[in-house]
Amino acid sequence: MQVVYRSDYRPPTFWIDHVELEFDLDPHNAIVTTKITVRRNTDQPSRTLELVGEQLKLLSVSVDGVALNDDEYTASSDLLVLNDLPARCEVQTKVAISPVTNKALSGLYQTSGNFCTQCEAVGFRRITYFLDRPDVMARYQVTIRGDKSTCPVMLSNGNRIASQDLGDGRHEVVWEDPHVKPCYLFALVAGNLKCHRGSFTTASGRDVALEIWVEPQNIDKCQHALVSLQKSMKWDEDVFGLEYDLDVYMIVAVNDFNMGAMENKGLNVFNSKYVLASPETATDDDYLLIEAVIAHEYFHNWTGNRVTCRDWFQLTLKEGLTVFRDEQFTADQTSAAVKRIDDVAGLRAGQFAEDSGPMAHPIRPESYISMDNFYTSTVYRKGAQIIRMYHTLLGQDGFRRGMDLYFRRHDGCAVTCDDFRQAMADANDTNFDLFDRWYSQAGTPELFVTSAWDESAGRLTLSMRQSYPDLAGDLPGTKDRKPVPLPIRVGLLDAESGAELSQYNDVLLLETESADFQFEGLDRQPIASVLRDFSAPVRLRMQRSDDELAFLMAHDTDAFNRWDAGQTLATGMLLKMAQQAADGQPLDEPKLFSDAFAKILTDDSVDEAFKALAITLPRESVLGQEMDVIDPDAIHTAREFFRRSVAGSHRDQLTALHQSLAADGPYSNDQQSINRRRLKNVVLAYLVSLDTPETDQIAADQFSGADNMTDQQAALAILANSNAEQRIAALDEFHRRYHGDPLVLDKWFAVQASSSRAGALSEVRRLSGHSGFTIDNPNRVRSLLGVFSVNQSVFHQADGKGYELLGDYVLLIQSGNPQLASRLVSAFNSYRRFDTGRQELMLRQLKRIASEPNLCKDVHEIVQRALK
């Protein structure tokens, strides 16, 4: 299979200035007529134009209005080659495609009977022959003709400039986008949709119509999305001075979508999961995610659309930057500390694991077989951490200067990560050359820190050293890795009072392999708080006693480190207990953590969301990463014991706390109520871990009495993970109530797929045969199989039945939806980290998949990397 290399980038032989598309919509036989005005690239002396396609049926080709004979071009379903073209001309093609049979959900397809498109990264070639690459930017005019009864609404990018009734039961609409764009930002939607409308007036006084298009039954679930959009538009003006640039901004919610959402110019297409919300059907987390994804896609209008990527290797240019922007936005809307903790927890669970396995790659990858495989947490989340480091070093004002220069230089262009880095440096008269290493090296650096106290000099020395751990296999970006620039935020605390010694607060910059940093003029030995706010994406390796960690957990003024100290303390204890479990020894009681736990719960200086995070134990998968050989059973045993033990020690306090939190009045979605629900549901999980009829009843009561989905789903998930006799009845009741609402039905599957009770695996297998399960809907597949595949103790059941189940579904899904299958198969990437028995069983599935004769290239790429 063809490998694409970053180093092979060449500009195109022709540019496209203008695109005229005509769609005659039909589910089985849609006709697409494309007129492109092309202009030879004088830097590339070629008269040959190669247009790529995928599964297209070519009907005709003409140049400057003259139809070509068969011998004047060469064509296959995925390539159209035109030779000896004049320097400027108009090329017209006509193709037929079949949206209804398009299960890949890339290109033009049908979802719930409506037409919709997804073109990033390379879906446009499934619509028409084109220069399907982001550096070719053009103006578009789009004519859509469709059935008036099935397609009363027909949308595309930009402004609607004309419409007419065609008289034969069909009608026509014409759209024009005044901005140049790459074809991956093209979109078309047609079908039976209703609109929730709003508006926004920009800082310069322009009125923008905001339109959220959904299936008619969902029209009452759009207000939160609309408000989120308005907040995002305002924030980007306030923080970055960026205004919206069209008269209308449309969002369409569709049920079948591979990604979260897509930032098409003026016409975002969203997975309905990130649009639709009502208190009865969406949780607080859903609300938060909707706001974040709406913001993310909106922010792309500048970071992605106005300035786009030269080639797909530069993806992090727009994604890392836009994730950073949406993270800052959410921090401003909610709590910066809680947001930071949530993000880092996600980074560690997902990206750190990816960065230490066979799919490890630099944030700017060197090669790919399928670009769709590189929409990864490395490109997105780690990419955002790299952007954050510029921000930490420059401050908000300096970062803003860099952004302003970036837009001044590159608006309307397709550029590279180097261009961004240069703009940040030039705008601030500084040099970011060493940052290049962050773009070309893979793996998570380790930061080793030791401290030395000189009593007579009153001096503390922190010695820091960075290195990369070795990775198995010959992976790109792992040879001859050099030290990377690390901004390290540090503070000192008085060891007796716990008070912040604020004059020592600083951001240190480690750019070499190792360096010493000194803090002078201290009266007595302080406690150092290192890597505050997680100021660099590294694994911190610092020898600290449990007492020191407990001290930081109680006193650190940096909320992130306060939380992290607790996590580190719990991790150390849990790993020791896992070893005891593996050795068949009795497990230690987690006394130190348990004491700190009780103190946090009564600490008035922190909010309930922080408390919820502080008492949440590290995930099993994160604990696994810290073991030489992951032992899922021992980790599970230790973590369950730890939880039960802490709950047992504080049962009365927890019961009272749950009661007081549950006594809040009717549902409200102000921040404090959200925080209180968050804490209440973490407390409930502790209580139910005690496995008593009384505590089970608390969950059952919450389930049946809840007036919102947050409390109801949390209680259901907790019951689904318990031995409570109310478990089955609750699951049945939930299904009875919500089976007609796809997004809520997803939750019903997900809570069962995340349960780790005995027999959970056979339940997942059984649910895959449930009438509500379908492999045609990505959300449904992810809610059952995706959730199950990260449920460590169940997926890695020692007999390999979990692996077999996933293998079966990868094979079943891969021919229809390669992108979805390739996400699922990635669960096997960690196989080297397990014992030989599990390795053997996972390898068996990988080889079974690899030997499939018609394996799609997406899955092929992941499996080959794993097997290498």
Site for ligand DPP in 546-605 (CB under 6 A): none
Site for ligand DPP in 314-343 (CB under 6 A): 319
Give the nearer residue to ligand DPP in terms of CB position, either 181 or 296.
296
**Shortest reach from residue 319's CB to ligand DPP, in Å:** 5
List, in order, residues 6 or more apart from 416 with CB less than 8 Å away. Answer: 309, 310, 311, 314, 317
Give the nearer residue to ligand DPP in terms of CB position, either 319 or 556.
319
**Interface with ligand DPP, residue 261, by CB under 6 A:** yes
Report the alpha-carbon distance of residue 642 to residue 635 in Å, rounded: 10
66: three-class secondary structure by DSSP = strand
Instruction: Name the residue type at position 73.
Output: Y
**Interface with ligand DPP, residue 355, by CB under 6 A:** no
**Shortest reach from residue 793's CB to ligand DPP, in Å:** 31
CB atoms within 10 A of CB 482: 12
Give the nearer residue to Zn ion in terms of CB position, either 157 or 322.
322
Give the nearer residue to ligand DPP in terms of CB position, either 296 or 727.
296
Q: What is the DSSP letter of 2?
A: P
Give kind and range of the element (H or E) at residue 315: helix 315-333
**Interface with ligand DPP, residue 291, by CB under 6 A:** no
558 binds, among ligand DPP, Zn ion, none (CB under 5 to 8 A by kind): none
Within 13 Å of residue 761, how many CA atoms lie on the same side as its CB? Answer: 17
**Interface with ligand DPP, residue 860, by CB under 6 A:** no
477: three-class secondary structure by DSSP = coil
Give the nearer residue to Zn ion in terms of CB position, either 196 or 318.
318
Instruction: Name the residue type at position 859.
Output: V
How many residues form the binding site for Zn ion (CB under 5 A)? 2
592: three-class secondary structure by DSSP = helix
With CB under 6 A as the contact rule, which of the stretches 255-263, 354-362, 436-444, 483-491 interacts with ligand DPP?
A: 255-263
Position with the least CB separation from ligand DPP: 262
Draw the binding track, 107-126, toward ligand DPP (x: CB under 6 A; -: no contact): -------------x------
**Shortest reach from residue 240's CB to ligand DPP, in Å:** 18
Q: Which residues pair with 57 in a beta bridge?
A: 96
With CB under 6 A as the contact rule, which of the stretches 261-269, 692-700, 709-717, 848-856 interacts with ligand DPP?
A: 261-269
Query: Which parts of 388-478 are beta strand (E)?
Result: 414-415, 446-454, 459-467
**Shortest reach from residue 127's CB to Zn ion, in Å:** 21
- What backbone phi and psi angles, to 5 degrees, belong to 405? -65, -40
620 binds, among ligand DPP, Zn ion, none (CB under 5 to 8 A by kind): none
With CB under 6 A as the contact rule, which of the stretches 235-243, 293-301, 664-672, 772-780 interacts with ligand DPP?
A: 293-301
> Binding ligand DPP by CB under 6 A: which of 215, 286, 291, 297?
297
Site for Zn ion in 302-341 (CB under 5 A): 319, 322
**Shortest reach from residue 219's CB to ligand DPP, in Å:** 24
List, in order, residues 6 or more apart from 62 with CB less than 8 Å away. Answer: 68, 91, 92
Report the alpha-carbon distance of residue 75 to residue 98 in Å, rounded: 19
19 binds, among Zn ion, ligand DPP, none (CB under 5 to 8 A by kind): none
Report the alpha-carbon distance of residue 102 to residue 381 in Å, rounded: 30
Give CA angle at 150 (145, 153), nearest 5°: 60
**Shortest reach from residue 293's CB to ligand DPP, in Å:** 8
**Shortest reach from residue 15's CB to ligand DPP, in Å:** 23
Asked whether 115 and 156 are in contact (CB, 8 A), the reply is no
- What backbone phi and psi angles, to 5 degrees, belong to 355? -70, -10
**Interface with ligand DPP, residue 381, by CB under 6 A:** no
Site for Zn ion in 483-502 (CB under 5 A): none
> Binding ligand DPP by CB under 6 A: which of 193, 212, 262, 405?
262
Give the nearer residue to ligand DPP in terms of CB position, either 303 or 754.
303
Site for ligand DPP in 142-161 (CB under 6 A): none
Q: Which of 137, 477, 151 has the alpha carbon at shortest distance from 316?
A: 477
259 binds, among Zn ion, ligand DPP, none (CB under 5 to 8 A by kind): ligand DPP
**Shortest reach from residue 146's CB to Zn ion, in Å:** 29
**Interface with ligand DPP, residue 294, by CB under 6 A:** no
Give exposure, 8-25, as e/b (b: 16+ Cβ within 10 Å).
Answer: eeeebbbbbeebbbbbbb
Catalytic residue among 20, 211, 297, 608: 297
Give kind and range of the element (H or E) at residue 566: helix 559-582
How many residues form the binding site for ligand DPP (CB under 6 A)? 9
Report the alpha-carbon distance of residue 253 to residue 273 in Å, rounded: 8
Give the nearer residue to ligand DPP in terms of CB position, either 327 or 696.
327
Q: Please say if 861 is a catalytic residue.
A: no
**Shortest reach from residue 248's CB to ligand DPP, in Å:** 20
With CB under 6 A as the contact rule, which of the stretches 230-238, 296-304, 739-747, 795-803 interacts with ligand DPP?
A: 296-304
Task: Map tokens 């369950």 to a residue.
Answer: 640
262 binds, among ligand DPP, Zn ion, none (CB under 5 to 8 A by kind): ligand DPP
**Shortest reach from residue 310's CB to ligand DPP, in Å:** 16
Give the nearer residue to ligand DPP in terms of CB position, either 335 or 370.
370
- Give 831-866 as a 3 state SS string: HHHECHHHHHHHHHHHHHHHCCCCCCHHHHHHHHHH
Question: Residue 16 is encoded by which pair of tokens?
Answer: 């496209």
Long-range residue pairs from 157-162, CB within 8 A, at least 24 positions apart, any chain: 157/181, 157/185, 157/186, 157/187, 157/264, 157/265, 157/266, 157/267, 158/246, 158/265, 158/266, 159/246, 159/247, 159/248
Tell me which residues touch Zn ion (CB under 5 A): 319, 322
Tell me which residues touch ligand DPP (CB under 6 A): 120, 259, 261-263, 296-297, 300, 319
Catalytic residues: 297
